[in-house]
Chains A and B, each alone.
Chain A
Amino acid sequence: NAGVTQTPKFRVLKTGQSMTLLCAQDMNHEYMYWYRQDPGMGLRLIHYSVGEGTTAKGEVPDGYNVSRLKKQNFLLGLESAAPSQTSVYFCASNLDIQDRVGTDTQYFGPGTRLTVL
Chain B
Amino acid sequence: QSVLTQPPSASGTPGQRVTISCSGSSSNVGSYTVNWYQQLPGTAPKLLIYGNDQRPSGVPDRFSGSKSGTSASLAISGLQSEDEADYYCAAWDDSLNGHVFGTGTKATVL
Do chains A and B stick together as partners?
no
